[in-house]
Amino acid sequence: MKHRGCGKDLAKVSEFIDGGLPAAMCRRIRAHMDDCRPCRDFVASLRRAMALHRAQGRAPSPPPLAKAELRDALRSCTAALKKRKPR
């Protein structure tokens, strides 16, 4: 996305696509893309990649209780390993 000052908004592209930017910033990015084919292509490509990623789905997160139990088990294992005598 390097073209006529494109770089300064590069960090904002994901937020732009997700709709997380203020309206004024979105208008500025859209106006820039109207005149900048490389940026239009880049944003279109990123949108396709993000859609494919979403379509793959995500593994469900474990419930909070399971996370706490896993964390406690990890701490117990770590503590036990620290107490072991070196071989």
Three-state secondary structure of 13-71: HHHHHHCCCCHHHHHHHHHHHHHCHHHHHHHHHHHHHHHHHHHHCCCCCCCHHHHHHHH
CA–CA gap between residue 85 and residue 87 (Å, rounded)? 6
Residue spans of the chain under pLDDT 50 = 1-2
Does the predicted TM-score (pTM) go above 0.75? no
Q: Is 9 helix (H, G, I), strand (E, B) or coil?
A: helix
pLDDT tens digits, residue range 31-47? 888 988 888 888 898 88
Is 32 in contact with 39 (CB distance < 8 Å)? yes
